[in-house]
Structures are given as C-alpha cells and as structure tokens.
Amino acid sequence: MNSEAASAIKFDYARIGGVKLHYAAAGSGEKLVILLHGFPEFWYSWRHQITALSDEFTVIAPDMRGFHLSDKPRTVADYEIDNLVDDVVGLIHHFGRENAAVIGHDWGASVAWALASKYPEKLWKLGALQVPPIPVWKKNQSIRQFFASWYMFFFQIPFLPEFLFKLNDYAMLTNALQNSTAQPGVFTREDLREYKKAWSEPFALTAMLNYYRANILKRFFSKGSEPKKIEVPTLFIYGERDSAVLPQTVENVGEYIEAEFREVRIPESGHWVQQEAKDAVSKILREFLID
C-alpha cells in the first residue's frame, strides 16, 4: 500500500459495551460499510478495499475483539458468536447509523452471516468471502473438508498451539499465510512484519484461538433448529483455490438467501481473496454496494 493511500486511513477506538475496539476508517459517505477480518489477521487485511471504497462510503475495518489493538477478554465464552455479533451492532450505533453494509472474510464472514440471521434490520447489504453460512457448510460437509479443517480441532488443545505459533518468530503462522496463496509473493516482508506486531500483543494468540474454542464444536456439530434464511441482499465471493474451505463446501449458498443474491468465483485466488485478487474484489464490492 502506497504512502498516499495509507495516509487516507485514520485510526481510533470505540467503546462497545465492556470492550474497546480499535478500528481503521476512511471516507465520509452517508452510508456505512464495515469490513470484518478473519484469523489470523486484523484490520490490515482490508487495507486495499478501505481506500478503494472510501470515496463513496464511510468505511470502517475494526480489529475484532481479541485481535491486534482491540481488547482481549480472558474467557473462552467471551468469543462466542453472539458476542461478536453484538460488537458489530455496537459499532453501527457508535457511528450514529441505524444500519450498515457488513462484509466479512473468514471468521468475519461467519460473524456477518450470524448478524444477518439475528438482526437483518441492521444491514442494508451483506457480503461474505470464502466462508458460507453454517447450514451450507454442514450440508456440504465431506471427508475431504473434515481433513482440510484439521487445524480447527488442533486449536482446541490448550496452550500447545500458542507455544508452537511463537516458535522461530511466528514461523508457523507466516508459513500458513505465504504457502496458501494461489500465487507466490502476495504477503510481502512489510506485510508479515505488520502481522507479527499484531500477534505479539499480550494475550493475542490465545484470544485469536478462542474464536475456534468458543464456537467450532458448538456451531458445526450441534443439530439445532431449522436455520432461518437470509433476507438481506447478499454477495458471496469465493477464491476457488482455497485449501482450507474447499469448493464443494460452498456449493448452493444461494439456497439459503431469500433476497437478491450474487455469487462471484475467482479462479486465480486462494483463501486470502481480498489480498490475492485485491483489484477484482474491490471492483466487485463497489458494484454490489453502489447498485
């Protein structure tokens, strides 16, 4: 990201209930757009889209609770999906809006889907990257996806993942980023330095892992009631060379949307789609949000 683009991004904090959230912001448009990152990232994963969309919208990319400079509550239960959803609702109100377009990647997508299901009136549009709604994932679950998701179960182990993450200057995490892109060189040395700073924050590694510890077994393996369909105009973007969320797992997302629905597949991208295909994703988001 060039220095001019970086200078357009401002930073501040919002007090949401008992949690203080750090966020990046750009633009002053009437409509609010909130960009939610995933694991093991922070607001920085959206750096390209923040500036690309800021001429039309007020764009906010928070560090979700537990990440980077946001507060890091100490118990696993603090990271249950309903608490993450309430954080986003609080952000909408913090900026004096009744609703927002919420776009999420990875865990951010899971939070966005849950928000749309629980509080559809808080959204004027919904976007999700790479991760489908939980009912779609569960319906499409396969042996291949089960083994591709091995890390979700490894992360349930106390202490060990944190210990391994720290070894050799966060080599496990940096390798996970660098070696899972469709093309080499997506994450530069500068990018990785920024990530390492975020991972080095006190309690950050445990807080990040608590997303998995609080939600995976409960949400993926419980039967529950018949899922409510999404009633918000929705965009789903999927980089087809994702080795963590397999193509079969995101089939038929539109069956769970009872509103305008668009799906865009990007063949040349892997999991980190808003960075691997930054210009394409920015263009797709702009068209969806302006239309």
* Active-site position among 106, 191, 211, 242: 106
* Annotation marks residue 22 as catalytic: no
Instruction: Looking at 14-68, list the stretches that DSSP marks H as alpha helix, in order from N- to C-terminal side.
Output: 47-53
* Annotation marks residue 279 as catalytic: no
What is the distance of C-alpha 144 from the center of its chain?
A: 23
* Active-site position among 22, 37, 68, 271: 271
* Annotation marks residue 106 as catalytic: yes
What is the distance of C-alpha 64 from the center of its chain?
A: 9
Handedness of CA 65, 68, 70, 72 (dihedral sign): positive
Residue with tokens 């500036």: 51
Phi-psi category of residue 6: left, alpha or beta, with phi > 0 → left and psi -120 to 50 → alpha = alpha
Strands 19-26 and 58-62: antiparallel
* Active-site position among 212, 238, 242, 256: 212
d(CA 5, CA 7): 5
| Euclidean distance between the first and the last CA atom of the chain, given in angstroms as a whole number | 27
Q: Which of 146, 175, 173, 169 is nearest to 161 (CA)?
A: 173
Instruction: Looking at the chain, list the stretches that DSSP marks H as alpha helix, in order from N- to C-terminal side.
Output: 3-7, 47-53, 81-94, 107-118, 134-140, 143-148, 150-154, 160-178, 189-199, 204-220, 273-276, 278-290
Question: What are the strands of the beta sheet with 234-239, ordered from one edge?
Answer: 10-16, 19-26, 58-62, 32-36, 100-105, 123-129, 234-239, 261-266
Which sequence positions are flagged as catalytic? 106, 212, 271
